[in-house]
């Protein structure tokens, strides 16, 4: 390491230097400079105050490892697809006959319930069609569109 033992004395130790800078110590900065300095200090204090305040719980972010996030996304997708499939399947309609014991004095046991499949009735489906004719350089020459209904069985 370099040690400089012949360094000049500190200003507080030298009376000549004290006299030279005494004039500078008495100088005051202009009013505009003082105001600007105070505004800058106030802005920095505000930013420090904002940084130290806790954020609202809905604005906080959390980090989740990628494998866990991928597994959660796969579970949610699987649950949604199973729920969608279950809602699309129709439950069979159970048709029962009225209670025979109440009307029949012989007291015979009623027949077992029968499962009846829903009747497949054709559904009307609306379809849209559009036809366009283009010519390079000119653009669209003709455009036709319309809708029509079509019966479709399940």
Per-block average pLDDT, block size 10, for the chain (154 residues)? 61 77 88 95 91 77 90 92 70 52 55 60 77 80 81 68
Q: Report d(CA 64, CA 146) in Å as an integer.
A: 50
At 45, which helix (H) or strand (E)? Answer: helix 31-52
In the prediction, which pLDDT does 149 show? 79
- Residue 95: CB partners within 8 Å, gap ≥ 6? 113, 114, 115, 116
pLDDT at residue number 22: 87
Give dist(CA 148, CA 125) in Å, integer: 8
Segments making up each domain of the chain, as ranges: 11-52, 122-154
* pLDDT value for 113: 60
């Amino acid at each position: 390491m370099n040690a400089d033992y012949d360094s000049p004395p500190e200003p507080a130790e030298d009376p000549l230097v004290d006299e030279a800078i005494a004039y500078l110590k008495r100088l005051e900065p202009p009013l505009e400079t003082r105001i600007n300095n105070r505004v800058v200090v106030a802005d920095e204090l505000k930013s420090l105050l904002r940084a130290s305040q806790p954020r609202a719980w809905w604005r906080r972010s959390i980090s989740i490892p990628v494998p866990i996030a991928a597994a959660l996304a796969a579970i949610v997708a699987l649950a949604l697809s199973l729920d969608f499939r279950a809602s699309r399947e129709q439950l069979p309609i159970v048709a029962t006959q009225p209670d025979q014991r109440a009307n029949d004095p012989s007291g015979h046991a009623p027949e077992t319930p029968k499962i009846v499949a829903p009747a497949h009735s054709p559904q009307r489906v609306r379809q849209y069609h559009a036809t366009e004719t283009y010519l390079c350089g000119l653009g669209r020459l003709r455009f036709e569109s319309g809708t029509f209904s079509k019966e479709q069985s399940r």
